[in-house]
Chains A and B, each alone.
Chain A
């Protein structure tokens, strides 16, 4: 220590700088320079002097002090840390950056998701989002949203729930959760549709919840030939039945791999029988949250942003998404509807890590054991149905892909099921209404008792003696013993 005082004031020393990320480097500086001078020396374009923190010997160095105050000597190492307090300044830079990305980030939807994520990660946005009051005000400031909310108390309720808003945004930040939720949503909806009466239920939901939201989202669109054609194309309907004659060609399969780039999660978007459903992306088919008011809470670049909101990566519906009045809520930027739309599903996971979620995306459902039990009954019903259908497997089904993995397993465990696509497609509707033949490929399956024989045995070994409950748990968990145990314990 005495040594430092005895050294000449002008003496230059070599210091090692250890940044919080990256490798260390050295710099030479005289001991009588101030900390601020050292910082200026270290500053780069990315890291201005103002946001550098230097830590030495357990202390943060103060700008005005000379280095000699801290008795820093030749060869010593300083920690260089990026300061967190200056985030507010960085945010301006950050909000511009995604814009640039969006131009390059192009056709694939994941870029958009990443972009949206980075936007949501932005501390300022996060602060704002975590303030439900603010969020609400933003939404309420839009006359169309207000109208929807006034006409639909359920929707208003949803938007008024701060917990829901927060969850949605958390969800949008987590790409894995989001993807999972979207997938579950797809499955759940497709399964619902096959349950007797389920289709009608979905239709009701659509009319009550989604339609008003969609309607407010896009300017009223008359059903034009052009539009119909576009939807038909999206549903793989390439032939047009002749008016007045019976349409006896097989109906198009909306789930077949589309000729154009339609990303996997978009599958539910083009649900048959639901013409004009708009934003064919993100698997948001019937998710009442799909017409998603948050779709526009900010986000980079109106172009890509709005595209994400409506359409995932589907350029065709991008055009429609542009008309989204919500997209203008915050500087004309959209936060992919995909993200938030999926929320309803993934928000709650059922016992055993089994994201059974709710087909309608209503968060409370996931928490409601009764509801879940009902689902399980549906589930069983469907299995029966499917077994009855097995004799009919010979029905021609050339248009349907042999397996539809994304529709299997609504609750994780049940086998790929036959898919009665008995609905009419929007364009083919008039003539084909009579010909609602269902092409139903049923995949032969073993009964669950056989499929889960081993798992059942191990559950029995573990002391779960009730076979039917075990079976139920296994079905719910998709055969995963650990999740099944968790499920059993919660039941």
Chain B
């Protein structure tokens, strides 16, 4: 199993290095550990996060692709679907079978067909359109809903800071 996941991840890494997808760049934290990826998400255009550089670590379980990876932002980020500790909460990263949130359909959860690319595309689209049904950062969700101008300002400040820290 481990061989399979290693192969799969190596293949994806190679593909992404040669032909990266717009909006993010992916590499390994440590070249000897294929299960831990370093991701750099470039704030998508026309969103509040534009101009920001968000670093994240993606950790794959050895059961990959049967189980989803975890993704955690290491750059400060303020978003309704990202826990204050940086962990990303999107339905496709939730393990299949176990419906601990009670409302997600199986089709919305992890499936082995997802690749690093599809996950990151979901994350990027999450950045521009938060899902406030299952907020991970309640404060951010509340502000997003009730005081958008202030949310906007905060996010833009964070995006700016993330660019300066590079």
Contact = CB atoms under 8 A, between A and B. Distances in A.
B31 interface: yes
Given A57-B27, A76-B17, A18 B40 contact: no
Main secondary structure of the interface of A (DSSP, over half): loop
B129 to A, nearest CB: 20
Interface stretch (B1-9, B47-55, B102-110, B137-145): B47-55
A1 B10 CA distance: 13
B22 A18 contact: yes
A21 B18 CA distance: 18
Interface residues of B, number: 27
A75 B53 contact: no
B131 interface: no
Contacts of A18: 20, 22
Contact of B25 (A57, A71, A83, A170): A57
Contacts of B42: 20, 55, 79, 81
Interface string B126-166: 00000000000000000000000100010000011001101
Nearest to A77: B20
B39 interface: yes
Contacts of B149: 170
Q: Which of A1, A56, A76, A84 has the most CB of B within 10 A?
A: A84
Interface string B13-45: 000011110100111100100000111101001
Contacts of B39: 58
B20 A79 contact: yes
Nearest to B20: A77
Interface residues of A, number: 22
B160 A84 contact: yes
Contacts of A55: 25, 40, 42, 53
Interface in B71-111: none
Interface string A70-91: 0100011101010111000000
Given A20-B45, A57-B27, A84-B163, A77 B38 contact: no
A60 B26 contact: no
A53 B164 CA distance: 11
A58 B37 contact: yes
Given A1-B31, A79-B25, A84-B51, A57 B38 contact: yes
Contacts of A53: 53, 166
B20 A60 contact: no
Interface in A32-68: 53, 55-60
Contact of A59 (B20, B22, B40, B45): B40
A77 B53 contact: no
Contacts of A71: 31
Contact of A77 (B18, B28, B45): B18
Contacts of B159: 84
Contacts of B40: 55, 58-60
A83 B53 CA distance: 10
Nearest to B26: A58
Given A18-B22, A20-B45, A77-B17, A84 B52 contact: yes
B44 to A, nearest CB: 9
Nearest to A54: B25
Contacts of B153: 130
Nearest to B29: A58
B60 to A, nearest CB: 14
A296 B85 CA distance: 45
Most A CB within 10 A of own CB, among B37, B40, B42: B40
A56 B53 CA distance: 12
A84 B51 CA distance: 5
A376 B53 CA distance: 51
19 contacts: A20-B22, A21-B45, A55-B53, A57-B17, A57-B38, A58-B37, A58-B40, A58-B55, A59-B27, A59-B40, A75-B18, A77-B18, A77-B20, A79-B20, A79-B42, A83-B166, A85-B163, A130-B153, A170-B149
Q: Give 7 closest A-B pairs by Cβ, nearest first.
A: A57-B27, A84-B51, A58-B38, A58-B27, A84-B163, A55-B25, A60-B166
Interface of A: 1, 18, 20-21, 53, 55-60, 71, 75-77, 79, 81, 83-85, 130, 170
Given A76-B18, A77-B20, 16 more contacts: A1-B31, A18-B22, A56-B27, A57-B28, A58-B38, A60-B53, A60-B166, A77-B18, A77-B19, A79-B20, A79-B25, A79-B42, A81-B42, A83-B163, A84-B51, A130-B153
